[in-house]
């Protein structure tokens, strides 16, 4: 009877965590030159449970992951060696009730090798990595070099700094959409680019952001710096 009670209790606790321990964003699209030394992929873990929570993680690589690329995971405790793909059983991460942390990230090094792939960062409520709590999909495109991606400043943000809205000035013929990301690489907004259009940023906190200009082939043709007042 005691054993049955224990099993039911553990199952109930894991079920509760599936809605209370949250990994954000759900999906992150990143695009950077293949000669980038390292690209840090940041995320946030939030504990909405009414007590402290321990969790373990696992990094899963798609079959298209280039063999030359390396990854390094840094969690709430430490940064592990390259290509360590799961949290040790004896070193769980712990968040206090109501706490949130953005200290966790994946460091990706493409080693000057072009590639497109998917990664999944998954968090679990047990050390055996069987009770999945939440996951994050990371879509990676790495191609070209930083020098190849440098182009004349054909597109500019106006006004900059901006308060609530901004527009794009310049040659927009090849521009299809824009993506606003924060300084940690987190995607915040997407918009279709149209001549004369104003883009609303009133919901963003004051600070610095990057605006990626993307063409119809999903290539980043220019990255602009935006200051939000």
Nearest to 105 by CA among 21, 182, 24, 188: 24
pTM of the model: 0.60
pLDDT of residue 61: 94
The pLDDT, as a whole number, for residue 19 is 60
Q: Which long-range contacts (CB under 8 A, 24 or more apart) does 72-81 make?
A: 72/106, 72/107, 72/109, 73/104, 73/105, 73/106, 73/107, 73/121, 74/103, 74/104, 74/105, 74/106, 74/107, 75/103, 75/104, 76/45, 76/101, 76/103, 76/104, 79/107
Give domain 151-228's CATH number out of 3.30.565, 2.60.40, 3.30.1600, 1.10.1060: 2.60.40
Shared fold status for 23-146 and 151-228: yes
Cα(71)–Cα(83) distance, integer angstroms: 5
The token pair at 168 is 């794009």
Q: Which fold has domain 23-146?
A: Immunoglobulin-like (2.60.40)
Domain ranges (residues) in the chain: 23-146, 151-228
- Tens place of pLDDT per residue across the chain (229 aa): 433 332 333 333 333 445 688 998 888 877 777 667 778 888 999 999 899 999 999 999 988 899 999 999 999 999 999 999 999 999 999 999 999 999 999 999 888 888 888 899 999 999 999 999 999 988 887 765 544 444 444 788 999 999 999 999 988 888 899 999 887 678 899 999 998 999 999 999 998 888 888 888 777 777 788 899 9
**pLDDT computed for residue 52 by the predictor:** 93
């Amino acid at each position: 009877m005691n054993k049955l009670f224990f099993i039911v209790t553990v199952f109930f606790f894991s079920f509760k965590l599936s809605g209370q321990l949250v990994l954000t964003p759900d999906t992150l699209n990143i695009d950077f030159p293949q000669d980038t030394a390292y690209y840090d992929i940041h995320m946030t873990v939030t504990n909405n449970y009414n007590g402290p929570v321990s969790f373990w993680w696992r990094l899963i690589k798609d079959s298209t992951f280039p063999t030359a690329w390396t990854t390094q995971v840094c969690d709430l405790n430490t940064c592990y060696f390259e290509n360590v793909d799961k949290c040790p059983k004896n070193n769980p991460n712990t968040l206090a009730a109501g706490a949130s942390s953005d200290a966790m990230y994946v460091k990706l090094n493409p080693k000057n090798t072009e590639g497109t792939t998917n990664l999944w960062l998954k968090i679990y409520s047990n050390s055996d990595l069987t009770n999945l709590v939440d996951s994050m999909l990371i879509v990676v495109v790495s191609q070209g070099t930083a020098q190849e991606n440098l182009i004349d400043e054909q597109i500019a943000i106006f006004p900059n700094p901006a308060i609530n809205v901004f527009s794009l000035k310049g040659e927009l013929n090849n521009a299809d959409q824009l993506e606003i990301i924060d300084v940690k690489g987190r995607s915040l907004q997407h918009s279709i680019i149209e001549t004369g259009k104003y883009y609303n940023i009133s919901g963003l906190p004051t600070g610095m952001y990057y605006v990626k200009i993307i063409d119809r082939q999903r290539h980043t043709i220019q990255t602009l710096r935006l200051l939000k007042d």
